[in-house]
Amino acid sequence: MRKNKIVTTEDILLKLCQSVSSVLTSATNSNINYSAMVQKINKTSLKPDFGCFVLFDGGFSGLVVINFTAKAALEVYTNYMRSMGMPEEELAILHTSDEVGDVLGELMNQLVGDFTNKIRKELQTNITQNQPKMLSLNKQVILSVDTNLDRPQVRRVTFSTEKNNIFYLELAMDKTEFIQLEDFEMAEDESPDSILESTQKGLTAKKEDKQEDDIASDLLDELGL
C-alpha cells in the first residue's frame, strides 16, 4: 500500500521562506539567506525599526510579518533601487522615508504572491492575500491575527542580507496537514521572458506571413490575375 505524503505547518513555512529568499535575492541582485533553524513563539508582533504584515485567507488562514532593522530595510531598498537604475543621489537615506516603505511593501506583495502561487500548485488549494501594510516603529507593537484559529501555530525565522544585516519573518497560521491521496502533475510556471519571447516570435511570424502575402499579391497584379 502506498504511503500518503503529508505536508505540515513546517513544510508550508519552508515554502514561504523559499519565496522570501528567492524574490528578494532576485529583486535586489544580492544574496538573502535564511536560518536552517526555526523558532516556536507564542504570538506575532511588529517590532522596530520597520514592520510589514499581510493577512491571507482561503484554504487556510494566517498572517505573515517581516520585521526589519533600519540597516536591513535600507540595504534591501537601496539594492533594489540600484538594480532598477536609480541614481545614487536620488536614493533615500532614512528608513522612515516613504520611498523605503513603498519599496518594501511592493516586495512583500511580490514574495507573498510567489508563496500563494506555490501553495496553489503544490497543495492544490487556493489562498488570497490582502494589501501589505508597513509601519516605521520605535517600540514593539503586538499584532494578533484577525481571524479565528482553532490551533494557532506561530514560527519565527531569521534572515540575513549580503552585508549580514538581520530581519525576521514570523508566520501565524492554524495547525494543519495536507495529505496527498493521489499523484498529480504540477504545472510549470511560464517566466515573463519566455512569454515575451513567444509573443515576439508570433509577431515576427505574422509579419513574415504578411510580407509573403504582399509579394504574392504583387505578382498576381503584374500577371493581370
Give the pLDDT confidence of 24-35 residue by residue, as tens digits.
Answer: 999 999 999 999
Each domain of the chain, given as residue ranges in start order, spans: 6-179, 192-223
| Model pLDDT, residue 37 | 96
Q: What angle do CA 86, 64, 18 make, to 5 degrees?
A: 70
Q: Name the burial class of residue 25, with classes exposed (0-12), middle (13-18) and buried (19+) by CB atoms within 10 angstroms of its CB.
A: middle
Query: Which residue spans within 99-144 are E strands per DSSP?
Result: 127-129, 133-136, 141-142
Q: Are 100 and 44 in contact (CB under 8 A)?
A: no
| Model pLDDT, residue 4 | 75
| Model pLDDT, residue 145 | 52
User: Could you tell me the three cell numbers for 165?
Assistant: 544585516
Cis peptide before 49 (omega within 30 of 0): yes
| Model pLDDT, residue 195 | 39
CATH 3.40.1550.10 fits 6-179, yes or no: yes
| Model pLDDT, residue 183 | 77
| Model pLDDT, residue 209 | 56
- Provide the 10 A C-beta neighbour count for residue 170: 23
Sequential pLDDT tens for the chain (225 residues): 456 788 999 999 999 999 999 999 999 999 999 999 999 998 888 888 999 999 888 888 889 999 999 999 999 999 999 999 999 999 999 888 999 999 999 999 999 999 999 999 999 899 998 889 888 887 777 665 555 667 889 999 999 999 999 999 999 998 888 888 887 676 665 454 443 454 445 445 544 555 556 655 665 565 555
| Model pLDDT, residue 199 | 42
Q: Are 103 and 72 in contact (CB under 8 A)?
A: no
Question: How far from each other are the two terminal CA atoms of the chain, in whole angstroms?
Answer: 73
